[in-house]
Structure 1
Amino acid sequence: MQDAEAYYKQEQNIKYVSDSYGKESWVRVSGKDILNRAEAHFWCALIKKTKVKSVFRDFSWDTDGMSDGPGFEGGGSTYTYKRNLVTGGIEPLLYYRNFYGVIPDCVELAQEFILLNNLYYDSIKHSYFELCMDGETEEAVRYQKDNCTVSVKLKYLQKYAAAKQMAILLFFDIRAEIEGSLEENGLDKFFDTFKDKDLYYSIWGDQMDFGNKHVYSVLMGKKILYPNAVDQCGYWPYEKKEKYETFIIGTDEFGNTKEYTCNPSKLANNFGTNADAPYYFTPVFFKKEVLQKYILKPELYTITDGSLQCQVLWQLQIDNHHKDCVIAYLGDLGKNLPESERLYWKSYNIDSDEKLSRVTFERDFMCLPSESNMIDHKFQRDYAKVIDYWNKKYGWSIFLPLTEQDEYNLSQIRIPLTNSQPEFDMLVLSLVKVLIDSLNEAKLKETLTRECKNGSINELQGWLEEHNCQDYEIHIKFLREVQELRSTGTGHRKGTNYNKTARKFDVGIKTLKDVFENILEKADEFLLYLMKI
């Protein structure tokens, strides 16, 4: 009976709206939910700070979004068009779209909120996301599948309110039901009201005598969330002050690492600024694994010879012409990397006795068009050259174009960052896709005058033989061995066949890094051969 009375008087729900609602990381702003076994309905709007007292004259909702849209108001012969018809200093955050059962109703966010936060809608996740400067996304608004139940991350709600210098008005209507009469449940009819500076609600309970007799209670009211100062909204020109990390730039006479800020305004340059500070172009060293994060998201990041780019958001010039480290300039880390990325790079920062590569030095300080000395860069460069060469000489490409879903297999071919088996297997798989699976079998078959076994390597061999090409055997042998390495390694469970094939490439004798580097060298020799025939 005590539990029934607590439920009837909605003690838990009162505690929720008093202590938690509007303070959680996600705020329910529309739709319904089950809250402590009661059916809860929510809505949200903004209100001018000067009008808060006027809406706290009673506990009822001041708007429910049903008639807040644009239209005309007036009477007689005078009508005035308004961008929204809500009154009393209230501004909609949401609009309830009623389609009268023809198509499902929905709730729409105010376009101003979407545009100010530069949000985009993901139709699969039913959420709005902000695109952050580091290229990552942050969920800002969640829709349930009914398209009427909406939650907004508190951070975005408060930023918006601060920018507009308006208070957030949260409405709630929570209803509990118990079967039977008041007398049967040992309960009494009641009515209570609570009001303070930011919460106003009433709760009442009675019984319903028609239909299925039951006891009910209604907790209805509103809550005010006051905005922060406008300079705390986080939008330009009130963005948070940027933080700059320090990075290792060398060691002192005792062998201790020395660090310095990457803030470009604190560094020396060619014009005499900050003469006692490290030079803007001081090289900073990182473990090669720093690139792993970007390799795993080829749809977002592009790593090329000397560059790391996040679409058109940011680009960092890097010296990626070493097998075991990556180098970036101290000033570039502060100027070209977003704040969150600098913290990530710092975790891979190392002290090193390496120097800038010859390629980077010639490009950056001697203005020479120096080609990369790294075999992975050379392979990708020569792959494109082969396609162009065959198109010009034979009128068709020896390699079929990669589909959008497969393009990463070419762009990610590299000397491995680590000696891990999974990375090695993945790179072998990608190499086979671009070098063997992409061979243009249809065109190779077209020019053959005799039958040969099916398979792209067999057809390439037949084409080379019919065209009297010399010294092709070593390349055909290489292609077959690489294909066998893929088939016995990533295509099936590894066993004795894989071990036998792997030994041909010195797996177990050399590191997997060195093994794949040698494979790439042979693959590039094959590409160079294709440009000689």
Structure 2
Amino acid sequence: MERSEFLLESELNDIKAKFVKGGWVDIFRNGNTYSGGVFCYLIKSDHLSKHLETNEKAIWKGSEGRPSVSTYTLPNGEITRYSAFNDEHIEPFLYCKHFPEERYIDVSEEFVNYFKLYENGTSKQERKYYFLDDSYDKEEVIVITPEVVRVKLKFLKEYIAVRRMDFIVCFDFMAIGDVPLKDWDIKLKEEDYSNDWHNYKHCINVSFGSTEIQSWITGKLTIKHDPRMSLKTWYDSDYQYEEFIIGHDDESGEEILVACNSEDHKFFVPVFFKKGVLNKYYNDPDKYKVSGFGLSCNAFSVKIDNNNDEYVVVFLNDLQSLPYKEQLYWKHYNIAREPGMGISSSYYNTMIQGNWADKSGSIDIRFKQEYERFNKRWFQKFGWYFYKPASGSDISIFKALHLPTDNSIISFCNQMLAIVKFTIDSLNEEVLVKDLPKVDNEKGIAKFERFIKEKGLEIPDMISFLRHLQDLRSGFIAHKFSESSRSVKRAKKFFGMDTSSYREVASDIFIKSLWTINALTKYFLETPEEEF
């Protein structure tokens, strides 16, 4: 045992810090053979001064103040009263539950209900509580393990403020052993330390019935509530509305910024954003749904015009439906309108005129629309799917499939891997060649080519595109790149990768993939079956 360990210096530092570290407070520690650890409870503020006159604890683990029923004799007879807690000034915050089957710690339901916390974990012993903001983003508030319970300080401070109560952290630490007092220059002592926020004692003496020396710290401290916070709660804060660029001033040339709740600009004022604003939502397809006409999740929904390849448009007042945090995020991508920019015809006809939906002008949205429509029609006509339907995590990957919003090679590779997955890799190979002679080691594109030739069709441009796309995926994206690979060189030349940006190449691949769908639709779904 080291001198600092015996003197409990680490624990004394924790006490000075009120057990706060990195914005979290330790409100429970399990302790060890000698130490009781840490526990906590709430106390009414008008009782705090008297409570701090001693270092005794009002509540400790396993004695959290059970409800009581008391009978009083009054002049007009006896009366029985129920009290939620033994001491009207003290309220438990944690409950140590001990059962023959298991032991675990519960948190005050009042605290959980106040913040509407979401509980999740692997067991009662290991779990967490989360706060969900108005975007349904999760923030950890409480972490429970068998050894430690921590609570985020800002949530605790708000809770005790609105309750107008203070928070007590009580502690009991001990180190014991055959220590060289003289060599360490340590003297036996029993000292009390108290002020307006703590009261504890530190004893160093001979352990009872032993020759070992013990160092013992026991007492309590308080985290006081701030009266100024008592009127401000998480659920009734004033809602804010961000300003967005709606154009330029004709005289100064400065950008015009208008709040999205403006009463003077409430009808069809378009606001433009870089396409990259949607990356956050595409990257989390299990939470967000992005279409040509809207963005939605469990927390919010907003109408958007996502039918242009270069930008996204939202009417100014529609931005009100975004939580303020999301408004700030969107503002980062806000751009001024340039000549030639505007609302797409598909959005105008559908969302404003109320007509049946036009086909999207955005190539990625259009491709996904036609892909699903084609596969459904194929099944209706032939009784089997041309492309194997997505399942499991592939469903989310399909939802997130989009034209890269920038010229990043990472974005390019991710999206091209996805488009190959749903075209070449999803070909229903077994059914395509079910009635054809077997060919050993035949790959998917070759099976597809034999299938269409069997139907009397020759579509060399389509086969060439698919083979080059497969080579691009195999040698440039999915596996280690090799400059000496002839197939990769041919694929790069086919897609113009030496002269075009990654985004331009991706757009070309989407266009050719859409053309593949349209060509198959024309040849197989819009032609009587007996003609091929």
Alignment TM class, shorter chain as reference = 0.7 to 0.9
Partner of 2:497: 507
Return the offset for 1:257: 2.8
Q: Is the 8 A contact 1:10 1:219 kept in 2?
A: no
- The whole-number CA distance in structure 2 between the counterparts of 1:343 and 1:299 is 23
Partner of 1:272: none
In structure 2, relative to structure 1, the CA distance for the partners of 1:80 and 1:29 (3 Å cut) is farther
Partner of 1:357: 344
Partner of 1:375: 363
Partner of 2:241: 244
- The whole-number CA distance in structure 2 between the counterparts of 1:133 and 1:249 is 26
Return the offset for 1:44: 1.5
Q: Is the 8 A contact 2:172 2:219 kept in 1?
A: yes
In structure 2, relative to structure 1, the CA distance for the partners of 1:83 and 1:517 (3 Å cut) is farther
Report whether the alignment pairs 1:366 with 2:353.
Answer: yes
Partner of 2:466: 479
Return the offset for 1:140: 0.9
Partner of 2:27: 29
Report whether the alignment pairs 1:399 with 2:396.
Answer: no
Partner of 1:140: 141
Q: TM-score, with normalisation over the residues of structure 1?
A: 0.85
In structure 2, relative to structure 1, the CA distance for the partners of 1:213 and 1:231 (3 Å cut) is closer
Aligned residues, how many? 507
Return the offset for 1:188: 2.9
Return the offset for 1:87: 2.4
**In the TM superposition, what are the counterparts of 1:193-272 in structure 2 within 5 Å?**
193-208=192-207, 210-211=209-210, 213-229=212-228, 231-236=230-235, 239-254=236-251, 256-264=253-261, 266-268=262-264
In structure 2, relative to structure 1, the CA distance for the partners of 1:79 and 1:175 (3 Å cut) is farther
Which segment is superposed worse, 447-456 or 358-367? 447-456
Which residue type is aligned with residue 189 of structure 1? L
SS at match of 2:393: coil
Partner of 1:387: 375
Partner of 1:160: 159
Partner of 1:51: 47
Which residue type is aligned with residue 172 of structure 1? F
SS at match of 1:407: helix
Return the offset for 1:154: 0.6
Return the offset for 1:241: 1.7
SS at match of 1:360: helix
Partner of 2:511: 521
Return the offset for 1:153: 0.2
Partner of 2:74: none
- The whole-number CA distance in structure 1 between the counterparts of 2:128 and 2:420 is 39
In structure 2, relative to structure 1, the CA distance for the partners of 1:194 and 1:212 (3 Å cut) is closer
Q: Is the 8 A contact 1:39 1:176 kept in 2?
A: yes
- The whole-number CA distance in structure 1 between the counterparts of 2:460 and 2:48 is 85
Q: Is the 8 A contact 2:200 2:217 kept in 1?
A: no
- The whole-number CA distance in structure 1 between the counterparts of 2:215 and 2:116 is 44
**In the TM superposition, what are the counterparts of 1:118-129 in structure 2 within 5 Å?**
118-123=116-121, 126-129=127-130
Return the offset for 1:210: 4.0
In structure 2, relative to structure 1, the CA distance for the partners of 1:412 and 1:83 (3 Å cut) is farther
Q: TM-score, with normalisation over the residues of structure 2?
A: 0.86
Partner of 2:399: 411
- The whole-number CA distance in structure 2 between the counterparts of 1:371 and 1:83 is 67
Identify unmatched segments of 5+ residues in structure 1. 269-277
- The whole-number CA distance in structure 2 between the counterparts of 1:406 and 1:509 is 32
Identify unmatched segments of 5+ residues in structure 2. 72-77, 525-532
Which segment is superposed worse, 434-443 or 204-213? 204-213
- The whole-number CA distance in structure 1 between the counterparts of 2:21 and 2:437 is 77
SS at match of 1:436: coil
Report whether the alignment pairs 1:312 with 2:302.
Answer: no
Which residue type is aligned with residue 262 of structure 1? A
In structure 2, relative to structure 1, the CA distance for the partners of 1:476 and 1:492 (3 Å cut) is same
The Cα offsets for residues 234-253 of structure 1, whole Å up to 9 and x where unpaired, read as 243xx222232222221123
Partner of 1:107: 105
CA-based RMSD of the aligned residues comes to 3.1
Report whether the alignment pairs 1:67 with 2:63.
Answer: yes
